[in-house]
Amino acid sequence: MDRLLSLLLLGGACTAGAAAHALPAEPVKAVMLSDIHFDPFHDPAKFAQLESTTVDRWATILSEPDSRTQPEDFAALQKTCKAKGIDTPWPLLKASLAEVSSKQPAPLFLTVSGDLMVHGFDCRYRALVKDYTPEEYSRFAARTVTFVALELKLAYPKVPVYIALGNNDSGCEDYKETPNSMFLVTSAWVAAAAAGQGVNDSIAMEAQHLGDWSVVLPKPLHHTRLLVMQDIFESKKYESCPGGSPTLKRDAAAQLQILWLKTQLEDARNHHQNVWVMGHIPPGVDPYQTIKNGADGCTAKSAPPELFLDSESMLNTLTAYPDIVRLALFAHTHMDEMRLLSGVGNTGSIAMKMVPSISPVNGNNPAYTVAEIDPETATLKDYTVFAASNQAASRWEKAPTWSAEYTYSKTYHEPDYSADSVKALMGEFVADRAGSSDVSKAYQQHYFVGDVGISGNLKAAAMQMLWPVYSCAMANPRSTDFSSCVCGKSTAK
């Protein structure tokens, strides 16, 4: 592990100096990634080699020609684990990082909004290892996260890389984790090394309990703090790892996390700092699950809308600090989404961006986002989404071509991605109940990143039919406000 951390730290010590060499008046750039879902099991015959060697050797092993039985072995593994699609094999991860680093060689920083590990990681591991201990499983899971972080740092050796963990990033199973676990401790040191700003020990010590940590973003950003959260503990699906010690029930874990968040926000306010908050599972209403469950809350018999998290505690906490929180950065759905977080009565608004995924597992194309940030206010001024070309599902093993999908300012005609601008745009979306305006249609098309042609048009048309639900979820993160909006009782203000 020491050797690995040394590799991750290469170039990290000079990050702060490199970032501070100039004070440009124009916006600075950052790269945003999410939901990489790297699959170390894509060629099952290579798994034994990966498990028995150090992570710095993984790229060499993975770059060797596929085994003769790779197609059959992988298909069998997909069937065993009831996989719905293909996540990110090594060629796609390698090609994605090569694309991003060639187009944006020197961003101020890079963010990863969680889910570095393949879906069904535990099932795939069990299928290939019949007899193993929880410690062996956790070790391989941690090494997978470490490998992705290492590749990110090799692509950006002198750029801070800020990594949040997602629900799939676990030392035992999806949505399960135990505070201070071996997986969290290892991931904490990896996150610290990837951040590479000479504050590694403090990040590592802070992150190993619940996966939460903070860092001051590099200059020329003006007094801006980034809060990184592993918000699996606030999910309704959260459980402690089997046999983990000490265990922590969901409510207790969520309360500890919210207390940490409040403490950080209060401290940032006292120090007159701007704040970005990054996690994986967003606060607010989940429109897809709400539609699936038929739960719009319009009648007394209707179930309440589905939330992404177990409660509105994170939402309430964030919207109590609209004077300092400039951006909430989340992911989880794999789609390119905009949201407005607001307090009771549509007060205390905060802009939230949900970053599209590298993984193509949901039928979306791999994507990354290049952001432009006002260095004085830490406001997201603009962003451009880049998407990979359409490929048949079986061909994500080959490097795709990439192109710009859209630029926010040109498509939505707003001056920035501040709370005020997002609120105005959300108001347009909600008022357009038919989903037929130019901006509504643009959102429907770009939501499914990179999916063009007949498939993309059909998906956009389906979303237009459900537009009141989706637009109300974008503008109204609270379940009661969402129901009122969908049921026609009110619109976003």
Give domain status of residue 436, yes or no. no
Does residue 475 lie within any of the structural domains? no
Q: Residue 247 domain-assigned? A: yes
Look-up: residue for tokens 């080959």?
398
Q: Report yes or no on 493 lying in a domain.
A: no
Which pLDDT belongs to residue 354? 99
Q: What is the DSSP string of 425-458?
A: HHHHHHH-TT--SHHHHHHHHHHSTT--HHHHHH
Residue 465 phi/psi, 5° resolution? -65, -30
Residue 489 structure tokens: 């009782």
- CA 296, chain centre distance (Å): 26
Burial 370-397 (b: 16+ CB within 10 A, else e): bbbbbbeebbbbbbbbbbbebbeeeebb
- Packed helices 200-210 and 182-195: angle between N→C axes, nearest 10 degrees: 150
pTM for this structure? 0.93
Let me know if residue 457 belongs to a domain: no
Q: How far is CA 92 from CA 38, 47, 95, in A?
A: 9, 18, 5
DSSP states of 228-279: E--GGGGSTT-BPPTT-SS---HHHHHHHHHHHHHHHHHHHHHTT-EEEEE-
Domain count, the chain: 1
Is 372 a domain residue? yes
Q: What is the pLDDT, as a whole number, of residue 244?
A: 59
Closest C-alpha to 149, from 105, 180, 187, 113:
187
Provide the pLDDT for residue 17. 41
Q: Which two tokens stand for residue 29?
A: 């750039």
What CATH number should be reported for the domain holding residue 405? 3.60.21.10
Domain annotation covers residue 463: no
Taking only the tens place, the pLDDT of each residue in 419-444 is: 999 999 999 999 999 999 999 999 99
Can you state the angle between helices 479-486 and 467-475, rounded to 10 degrees? 140
129 belongs to a structural domain: yes
Element (H, E) at 350: strand 350-354
Domain of 187, in residue numbers: 2-419
Q: Rounded to whole angstroms, what are the CA distances from 66 to 45, 63, 71, 76, 216?
A: 9, 8, 9, 16, 43
Residue 446: which region, alpha, beta or left (left: phi > 0; alpha: psi -120 to 50)? alpha
Residues of the chain with pLDDT under 70: 1-25, 197-200, 244-248, 296-297, 299-301, 391-395, 489-493
DSSP secondary structure string for all residues of 76-132: HHHHHTT--S--B-HHHHHHHHHHHHHHSSS-SEEEEES--BPTTHHHHHHHH-SS-
Least Cα distance to 305 among 284, 323, 321 occurs for 284
Provide the pLDDT for residue 19. 44
Element (H, E) at 213: strand 213-216
Does a cis peptide bond (omega within 30 degrees of 0) precede residue 242?
no
Residue of 4, 3, 1, 40 lying closest to 144 (CA atoms): 40
